[in-house]
Each structure stands twice: as structure tokens, then as C-alpha cells.
Structure 1
């Protein structure tokens, strides 16, 4: 286990370096941020002086070298928009996005696990058809469209839930449902397919012949053994929730990392973009590592080589 963990932690370094280079390369070719920092009537001399002070007049690889050396020290540069260090600004918004992602995942799990189990038990029934149809519909609906429909119904027509901002649990309901719907649809299909495969195993038939109660058979013997792939998809969907937050937070004016990143992209705020994507990348990598380590908890047969 310790050897496996050390190896996985060392693998994070080249992955982060590659992600950092790709983001830096894309940001480099977007345009000159100096044009946004100075007034339109700025003199060419002032433009060149600022570009030189920010080392934006250097070749791309040289700029990337400066950037990496600063990142190692935890310095992503100053935000052009806020005039402050980018990393603290990103970390300040991160808890709001994590709260939204966490509540969205809870909603997805509460929908997907019961629906997937019931659908597998009642295979080819009307319930199974309904659950399968929900999965397809939930996966196909664009998150921005669903968010707008929820705002229209619960915010405009019935006026029972807030449609923007942050601060109370009520502000999380509509964004969480919007984000959690697509994830629950994917998880429902996975739970259903795994349960169908598990329920046809020989040890399930043996348990039935021994008179094991149906509830114990489903939860203890069935779902527990189908849980490992579900854990995988849960942790992998964190990246989906974070990327989905880019749109959802804008739709609901939710002050999280997604809204900050969208504003940074539109304003070509390179420091914020790079810091935000770097933080999200680390979070996703560590969550995937945690998922790998949790496998052994649910399936002792797994060996770490």
C-alpha cells in the first residue's frame, strides 16, 4: 500500500506539469492582457513598459519557466482585475463550489442508488422503463436549460425558492438539483447494470436457497459487491460537477469558483485562470487517488501492486 501510494503521488507531478503547460499555452495565445489593463488612449511606451515589467515580452517558453518557478513557491501572480494575488482569491471561492458539488452529489446518490436498485429488481417492468427513461432524459438535458426551467417554475411562478446568490440552504436547492440531475442519471444506469450482473451470480442463488431475507440479499450480498464501480463514478463525477458549475453558477449568479473562472476567461485574467485550473486539477487527482484507496475497504480482494 505505501509503495503504491508513493508511486501515485509521484505521478501527480508530471500530470500537473502537463496541465499547467496546456493551460499556459492556451492563455498565451488568447491575446495581450496589457490591452485590458491600460486605457485605450495609453501611449505605446507605457504599454511596452508594462509588458516588460510583467515579462510578457519574453518568448512563451521563457514565460512558462518564470511561471513554473513561481508556482513552486505558491505564487500564480496578481490578478489583473482584482489587483491581488490570484491564489487567495481562488481559495476564497473554492468552499462555495465544494459545498455546491457536495450537495449535488448527495442529491445524485439519494436518487440514483434507490432508483438503480429498484430498476434492477423489477427488470423489464413499468418501473424499470420509467427509471431508464429518466436516466436518458437526465443525461440529455443541458444543465443551463434545466437551470432556467427551475428558475421559471420555483422562482418566478411559485416564488418559493431564491434563484440567485448564496448564504442559506435555500440558495443551494435549485443549483444542486441542476448539477445533480445529470450525475444521478449516469449513476442510476451504472447501479442498475451492476446490480443486474450481481443478481445473476451463483452466490446470490445460493443465498436465496438458504432463505436469506430479500432486503439482506439485496443490500448485503448484492449492492455491497456492486459498490466498487459506483464509488469510481462518484469520484470521477466530481470533475463533472466542477465543470458543470461553470455554467450553473453563472445561471444562478452563485458566487463560486465556476463564476470566478468564467469572469476571468472573459477578462483574460491569466493569473486567476491558471490558479483556478491548477487547484481544480489537484482536487480531481486527489479525489481519484482517494477512490482507488477506498476500493480495498469495500473489496478486500483488491491488491495494490
Structure 2
């Protein structure tokens, strides 16, 4: 396992390099930031001076080389929109996104595991059909629509939760439900399919024939093995939550990394975009590695070579 972890960490280097190159090129081909930073009345001389100050007058490969050299040292440049270094600003917003993503994943897990187990145990009954229909509905609803509907119902009509912003726990409820609903739907269907397959295995019938309590059979023997494919979804979905909270954070004005990235794209703030994507890439790679380690814990038969 130790060798596998070291090998995985080394493999992150070319992946991060490739991601940085793609983001760098895309940011530069989408427009000239000098035009956004200067007023329309600026002269060509003003544009040339600012372009030289930002290093944009150099060839693209030299700009990219300087970007990599500075990025290795944790310097992604200076945000002209916020007037400070890009990386500290990104890291400052990251805890809010982690809080939102963690709450969304917690809600998804608390909903999906019992619903998936019940749906598998009550296969082809009206309860199973109801849960399956609910899962399909939850999977088909876009996040922005779910968020708006929750705001209209629980904030505007009932006045239970605040409309937007970040404050106490009550501010977290609606955006977390918005994020967790779609993931819960997907996880419920996966847990149901996994449990149906495992409940027909020979060792489950043997455990039942020994007179073990049904709860022990389900939660100790069946659920642990049934969670292996679910861990994959949880790992992938958590990373997508970190990078994909843009819509939800915008709808609820949640001051996280997603809202910062949207603002940076709109203002063409290259330093913020590059730093945010780089940090998100590291998180994705780290969570994928952690997922592999959890696999090994859930099923010791899994070997990494």
C-alpha cells in the first residue's frame, strides 16, 4: 500500500502539469484582460504599459514557463480585481465550499443508505416503486431549479430559512439539501442494485441459516460489501461538489470557491482562475487516492501493485 501511495503521488505531477497547461491556454484565448482592466477611454500607450507590467507582451510559452515557475512556489499571481495574491484568496474561500460540500454529502448519505436498503429488501413492492420513482425525480432535477424551488417554499412562503448568505446553521440547510438531493438519488439506486446482488450470495444465506438476526446480516455482512461501489460514487461526487458548487453558491450567495471562480471568470481574472482550478485538481486527486485506500479497508482482498 505504501508503494502504491508513493506511486500515485508521483503520478499527480504530470496530471497537474497537463491541467495547468490546459487552463492557461483557455484563459489566454478567451480574451485580453487588459481590455477589462482599463476603461474604454484608455489609449494604446496605456494598454501597452499595462500589458508589459503584467508580462502579457511576452510570447505565450515564456508566460507559461514563468507561470509554472511561480506556481511551484505557491505564487499564482496578483488578482487585479481583489487587489491581493490569488492563492491566499482561494484558500480563504475553500473552507466554506468544504462546509457546503460536506453537509451536502452528509445529507445524501443519510438519505441514500436507508432508502437503498429498504428498496432492496422490499423489491418490486409499492414502496420499492415509490423510492425508485423518487430517485429518478431527484436525479432529473437540476440544482439551480431545486435551489430556487426550496427558496420559494421555505424562505419566501414559509419563512423558515434565510434566502441566502452565510451565517448560522440555518443558512446551510437549503444549499446543502440542493446539493445532496441529486447525489442521494444516484446513491440510492446504486445501493439498491448492490444490495440486491449481495443478498443473493451464498454467504448471506449461510448467515441466515445460522439464525443470525436480520439486522446483523444486513448491516454487518451485506452492507459492508455493498458499500464498495458506493464509495466510488461518494469519492467522485464529493470532488464534483467542491468544483461544481458554482451554481448552488451563486443561487444562495454562498461565499465559497465556486462563487469566487464564477466572479473571476466574468472579470477575466486569470490569477484567480488558475489558482482555483489548480487547488480543485489537487483536491480531486487526493480524494481519488483516499477512495482507493478506503477500498482496501472495506475489502482486504483488494490488492494494489
- Residue 73 (structure 1) shift: 0.7
Contact in 2 for aligned 1:135/1:188 (Cα 8 Å) = yes
Question: What residue number does 1:209 align with?
Answer: 209
Alignment of 1:87-102 (within 5 A): 87-102=87-102
Secondary structure, aligned partner of 1:226:
helix
Question: What residue number does 1:61 align with?
Answer: 61
- Residue 211 (structure 1) shift: 1.2
Alignment of 1:68-87 (within 5 A): 68-87=68-87
CA RMSD of aligned residues (A): 0.9
Task: Give, in whole Å, the separation in 2 of the partners of 1:105 and 1:132.
Answer: 20
Task: Give, in whole Å, the separation in 1 of the partners of 2:54 and 2:240.
Answer: 34
Task: Give, in whole Å, the separation in 1 of the partners of 2:215 and 2:188.
Answer: 19
Secondary structure, aligned partner of 1:56:
coil
Unpaired runs of 5+ residues, structure 1, are none
Secondary structure, aligned partner of 2:207:
helix
Question: What residue number does 1:297 align with?
Answer: 297
Question: What residue number does 1:174 align with?
Answer: 174
- Residue 244 (structure 1) shift: 3.3
- Residue 296 (structure 1) shift: 1.5
Secondary structure, aligned partner of 1:224:
helix
Q: Deviations over 1:243-278 (max 9, x none)?
A: 431000000111111100000011100000110111
Q: Give the 4+ runs in structure 1 shifted more than 6 A.
A: none
| Length, aligned pairs only | 305
Contact in 2 for aligned 1:143/1:244 (Cα 8 Å) = no
Secondary structure, aligned partner of 2:297:
helix
Unpaired runs of 5+ residues, structure 2, are none
Q: Deviations over 1:199-257 (max 9, x none)?
A: 01011111111111110110011001111111111111012212431000000111111
Contact in 2 for aligned 1:179/1:244 (Cα 8 Å) = no
Q: Deviations over 1:123-171 (max 9, x none)?
A: 0011111111111111110100000000000010001101111021000
**TM-score with structure 2 setting the length:** 0.98
Task: Give, in whole Å, the separation in 1 of the partners of 2:25 and 2:125.
Answer: 52
Q: Larger deviation: 203-212 or 151-160?
A: 203-212
